[in-house]
Amino acid sequence: MKKVAIIGAGISGLFIANLFNRNPNYQVSIYEKNSSVALEEGYGVQLSVNSIKILNEIGFEKLQNNEKFNPEKINFYSSKSLKKICELDIANFNSEDCKYTTLKRSTLINFLKKDLREYIKTGYNISKIDQQDKQIKISFENGETIECDYLIISDGVFSKSKSLISKSETKPKYNNTLAIRGILTKSLESIDDKNISLFLGPDFHHVIYPVSPNGDLNFIAIMKYHLSEEDQKNYSLFSDNTFIKKVLHKIPLENKDFLDDLKELKIFPVFISGDFHKLQINNVHLIGDAFFAFPPSFAQGASQSIEGAYELFKSIGNNTESNFFKNRVKKTKMVNIRSKFNQFSFHLSNPLTTFARNILLKRLVKNKKFLESYLGKIYQN
Ligand SMILES: Cc1cc2nc3c(=O)[nH]c(=O)nc-3n(C[C@H](O)[C@H](O)[C@H](O)COP(=O)(O)OP(=O)(O)OC[C@H]3O[C@@H](n4cnc5c(N)ncnc54)[C@H](O)[C@@H]3O)c2cc1C
């Protein structure tokens, strides 16, 4: 039986652990640095059909219907005038069993960890990785060491394991944007709260979507914001009330009253990957944000984490691990270009270019060929 060690109990680590756990040829352990698995209680996540199809292989379709939602459209609005620009029918990519899904992150994490309780070890912060022949020896800050046949690194965008194994700092970059997250306690008159509402504004966009059929709405905004190098590292800044007030004041919306109805408001800097890192050791692999973190404007980070984890699991089983990196880079590049382009076009500020963008957008959301290429290529796997 092969021993598999997974570093980090986020979406990617938990998902791949489920796959290994269902196969009697592997013995899996997940090492998480925190004292518990973070549920990110309250906040939402969007999952496109590519990840739903894979999640169904571990029983996601059996999740109670009141715990997830299937929006059918993305409604685009101008955040200045609040006028609707156009709508995109995302249900077009759905099939009977695989539908574009929104849900609470806590629902997804609880689903992913439910069969893994005895294999998740919390309070394990990795400190050293050594390779001896085909065995990998891992040391943790709590003094424990373990040996395994496969090491899967899924410890997020700031991956310490990646730095340890590459023997150099592999730093992500600040995306020059802050994320503002919360739960809307009241629906807004101007929106269709059964679908995804995407408001496009200068240097800012925000998205509101339902996370369950009972009316809970997730709010997420991305705002261009300069932070000095020092401030980027100062995590206490993001819970400082003066800073939070300053950021909220800068939000370029005329009517901000609804922000008072936001629960669990959280502001944090968005970091993204600059490049890919090919590991030189055969039985050590990166997945999820540790492999590559995108700007969040295409809502694909979690879906790609799930897709990448699935591909890696399959390639380990088929002994085709050498193809995993090459294939994942190809898909990741496609997603990254779209994520960057979305952010650029969502944040246009010049009235003329905004006008042109809106006209183009109205056409593109109806253009089957374009949609097949821009979304279909990503949503299919
Ligand atoms: C604002 C925003 C909105 C987003 N919205 C969406 C969306 O709607 N849809 C979507 O698909 N994606 C979305 N994403 C992206 C998505 O959230 C991430 O891509 C995904 O959560 C990555 O999962 P992960 O498991 O790779 O990493 P993480 O969730 O970061 O998990 C890493 C885990 O590793 C642990 N860890 C860290 N260091 C160590 C260590 N040294 N030792 C042991 N354990 C360690 C951490 O504690 C954590 O539990 C969004 C991202 C942002 C920033």
Q: Consecutive 10-residue runs of the chain (381 residues): their mean pLDDT?
A: 97 98 97 93 92 98 94 96 95 96 96 97 97 91 97 97 82 96 85 94 96 90 97 94 95 88 93 91 94 97 98 95 94 98 97 97 98 96 79
Give residues with Cβ within 8 angstroms of 9, minimum separation 6: 17, 30, 32, 37, 113, 120, 122
Number of C-beta neighbours around residue 364 at 10 A = 15
Please tell me the predicted confidence (pLDDT) of residue 282.
82
Nearest alpha carbon, ligand 1 atom 23: 11
CA 154–ligand 1 middle distance (angstroms): 9
Nearest alpha carbon, ligand 1 atom 6: 299
Please tell me the predicted confidence (pLDDT) of residue 169.
66
Of 165, 375, 177, which is closest to residue 290 (Cα–Cα)? 165
Of 136, 56, 69, which is closest to residue 102 (Cα–Cα)? 69
Name residues contacting ligand 1 (CB within 6 A).
7-13, 31-34, 38, 45-46, 124-126, 154-156, 160, 179, 220, 270, 288-290, 296, 299-303, 305
Are 68 and 102 in contact by the 8 Å Cβ rule? The answer is: yes
Are 138 and 87 in contact by the 8 Å Cβ rule? The answer is: no
Please tell me the predicted confidence (pLDDT) of residue 40.
81
Are 78 and 124 in contact by the 8 Å Cβ rule? The answer is: no
Do strands 120-122 and 262-272 pair parallel, antiparallel, or not at all (unpaired)? unpaired
| Domain ranges, ordered by start, for the chain | 2-172+273-379
- Retrieve residue 270's tokens: 């968005």
- Retrieve residue 314's tokens: 């399959």
Q: What is the 3-state secondary structure (H, E, C) of the chain?
A: CEEEEEECCCHHHHHHHHHHHCCCCEEEEEEECCCCCCCCCCCEEEECHHHHHHHHHHCHHHCCHHHEECCCEEEEEECCCCCEEEEEEHHHHCCCCCCCEEEEHHHHHHHHHCCCHHHEEECCCEEEEEEECCEEEEEECCCCEEEECEEEECCCCCCHHHHHHHCCCCCCEEEEEEEEEEEECCCCCCCCCCCEEEEEECCEEEEEEECCCCCCEEEEEEEECCCCHHHHHCHHHHHCHHHHHHHHHHCCCCCCHHHHHEEEEEEEEEEECCCCCCCCCCCEEECHHHHCCCCHHHCCHHHHHHHHHHHHHHHHHCCCHHHHHHHHHHHHHHHHHHHHHHHHHHCCCCHHHHHHHHHHHHHHCCCHHHHHHHHHHHHCC
Domain 2-172+273-379 belongs to what architecture?
3-Layer(bba) Sandwich (3.50)
Number of C-beta neighbours around residue 299 at 10 A = 22
Nearest alpha carbon, ligand 1 atom 3: 296
pTM > 0.95: yes or no: yes
Are 197 and 209 in contact by the 8 Å Cβ rule? The answer is: yes
Distance CA 68, CA 87 (A): 22
CA 366–ligand 1 middle distance (angstroms): 33
Are 219 and 188 in contact by the 8 Å Cβ rule? The answer is: no
Number of C-beta neighbours around residue 133 at 10 A = 5
> Ligand 1 pocket test: which of 55, 128, 176, 305 has the largest number of ligand atoms within 8 Å of its C-beta?
305
